[in-house]
Structure 1
Amino acid sequence: MKSTRHEQILRLLAETGQLHVDQAVARLNSSPATVRRDFNQMAEAGLVERIRGGIKLINQVELLPFRAREVKNPNEKLEIARRATTFLSEGDVIFVDGGTTTLQLAHSLPPIKLRIITNSLILAAAIERRMLGQGPWEVFLTGGYLFPRSGLLVGPSAQYSIAQYHANWALLSTGGITETGIFNDNEHVVESERLMIKHADRVAVLADESKFGHHAMRHIASLDQIDYLITNRQTDESLPFENRRGIKLRLIYTS
């Protein structure tokens, strides 16, 4: 229920940019104490900013890199996201995880009908603001436990939700990539990412050059489970791996 209220609050914020306790109480049919608690939790998660008597949207500079001090190469990540969207077709269903590179997809999606399944409240809110209630995209949140200060929905409920869907694409970020596969620093989302890979026809990993040669804490998948690797890294080296259908992993460069 809590994650559903948080989603509703983000949708209300997308309409006005600010939301006060009395407004949320009327719109959500919740008590003032519940609304204040939701506001505080969302502010602690970095989804909104607290103001007197309510909350407001975090400005674009603060939101895009949801952990601004940890984000590297924002321009490169935006170009990688734009390149990834060129593979999408009308009517595609897409899994998108909650990384800083995939967050840039909110500003890169083409004006075609897409269904986006994500575990990221921040991504969902960014897409909602871009649509202003009129865009061609449908967003489905996985549900689950809202992991503190991440904006990510995790845990068994999130995993169960993902397993109910089938997608044309999984567009995934990564904390590191080596010849042994892709990795993530947040162990709480690894199982969700594995399920996205399992339930998608094609998998594209979006990775800027800082991720190469880096082992993060948890292994997500081997390279033979990936179809495309989209990056700004310039190298003549080819990765001698084949994906799960026996097709050589394709490296796509942004320039």
Structure 2
Amino acid sequence: MKTNRHEEIMKVLAESGTLSVEEAVARFGASVATVRRDFVEMAEANLVRRVRGGIQVLHNEQTMPIAIREVQQREAKLAIAREAVTMLAPGNVVFIDGGTTTLQIGSCLPGIPLRLITNSLRLAAAIESQSTRRAVHELFLTGGFLFPGTGLLVGPSAQASISQYHAQWTMLSVSGINQSGLYNDNEHVVESERLMIAGADRVVVLADHTKIGKHSMCHIAGLDEIDVIVTNRHPDTVDALEAFENAGVEVLVAE
């Protein structure tokens, strides 16, 4: 089916960045004409960029479907989530925002009593699926408007819900983090993230190396509002991580 083939093409792009016509023909068993037609349709839908002989991924969090973004840097994101949850203690209240890195928290929560508050239906479902841990985790959803295609609850109702609570921890995914602070591509969730930051004792940012030193459309908060950054090791981010530490932010590197 064409839709399924488009999804598979996007998954390949998420891992490799580019895909040629010849590679797609060999991988999917489709004709050259079919593959070229797929590439044209996906480019017209603003999912990919056409290049000579094939297509290239668009580096745009807003246009990339969340199911595809989850594939990108998946092993690093899981390692980061595993490192982040080691900081939690029994009885902690934790804000967790919706993002492809914080989503991984759902599969690696420790088996200790926790109260978890999230605006992400996808994360809630991931936590609920861990049947052996249901008894020790209390899960609170914020309510609000379900923003299409994201699984995120946003808007005034979500913000009012977040404002009711106080937490020991806030754990955030971001689109970028640099010396100016945190950034997100989705303006609809920024205010909720700010309220989570304001309502917690300590703020942890989960960001793989592709987010380090980057910025995007919406500024969330400055570095002075962040306590810990959890990331993965990569040679391109050494200087940036050192600068974060010099600014007073604790940096944890997940192996």
TM-score under structure 1 length normalisation: 0.70
Contact persistence 2:98–2:120 (CA under 8 A): yes
Native 8 Å contact 1:146 1:152 kept in 2: yes
Q: Does 1:68 align with 2:67?
A: yes
| Matched residues, number | 187
Structure 2 counterparts to residues 31-180 of structure 1, below 5 A: 67-71=66-70, 72-131=72-131, 134-180=134-180
CA distance in 2, matches of 1:117, 1:87: 17
Moved over 6 A (4+): none
Q: Which amino acid aligns with 1:170?
A: T
Q: Which runs of 5+ in 2 are unaligned?
A: 1-63
The structure-2 alpha-carbon separation of the partners of 1:236 and 1:214, relative to structure 1 and needing over 3 Å to count, comes to closer
1-structure distance, mates of 2:181, 2:219: 7
* In structure 2, C-alpha distance between the alignment counterparts of 1:163 and 1:134, rounded to whole Å: 25
Compared with structure 1, are the counterparts of its residues 186 and 236 closer, same or farther at alpha carbon in structure 2 (3 Å cutoff)?
Answer: closer
Q: Distance in 1 between matches of 2:116 and 2:106?
A: 10
Confirm or deny that 1:187 pairs with 2:182.
Answer: no
CA distance in structure 1 between the aligned counterparts of 2:103 and 2:238, rounded to whole angstroms: 28
Could you say which residue in structure 2 is the equivalent of 1:239?
Answer: 243
Distance, in Å, in 2 between the alignment partners of 1:253 and 1:132 is 28
Q: Distance in 2 between matches of 1:161 and 1:239?
A: 35
SS of residue matched to 1:239: helix
Q: 1:197 aligns to what SS in structure 2?
A: helix
1:221 maps to which residue?
Answer: 221
Structure 2 Cα separation of the partners of residues 92 and 240 of structure 1: 26
User: Could you report, residue by residue, the CA deviation over 1:41-98 in whole angstroms, capped at 9, with x for unpaired residues?
Assistant: xxxxxxxxxxxxxxxxxxxxxxxx9822223100000000000000000000000000
1:224–1:242 Cα contact (<8 Å) kept:
no
Deviations 1:140-191 (A, max 9, x none): 0000001011100000000010011000000000011111111011100000
- Which secondary structure does the structure 2 equivalent of 1:188 belong to? helix
- Looking at structure 2, the residues matched to 160 and 241 of structure 1 have their Cα atoms a distance apart, in angstroms, of 34
Task: For residue 194 of structure 1, report the CA deviation from its aligned partner.
Answer: 0.2
Amino acid at match of 2:123: L
Matched to 1:185, the amino acid is D
Shift of 1:209: 0.4
**Structure 1 residue 240 displacement after superposition:** 5.3
Three-state SS of the structure 2 residue aligned to 1:213 is coil
The answer to which structure has the higher helix fraction is 2
| Alignment check: 8 A CA contact 1:66 1:100 kept | no
- Cα distance in 1 between the residues matched to 2:179 and 2:145: 32
**Structure 1 counterpart of 2:69, which letter?**
E
- Check 1:101–1:134 CA distance in 2 against 1; reply closer, same or farther (3 A cut): closer
Secondary structure, in 3 states, of the residue corresponding to 2:243? coil
> Could you say what secondary structure the match of 1:135 adopts?
helix
In structure 2, what is the Cα distance between the partners aligned to 1:66 and 1:125?
A: 18
Measured after TM superposition, the shift of residue 119 of structure 1 is 0.2
Counterpart CA distance in 1 for 2:159 and 2:134 is 29
- Structure 1 residues 126 and 240, CA gap change in structure 2 (3 angstroms): closer
What secondary structure, in the 3-state scheme, does the structure 1 residue paired with 2:135 have?
A: coil
CA RMSD after TM alignment:
1.9
Task: Look up the SS of the partner of 2:82 in the other structure.
Answer: helix
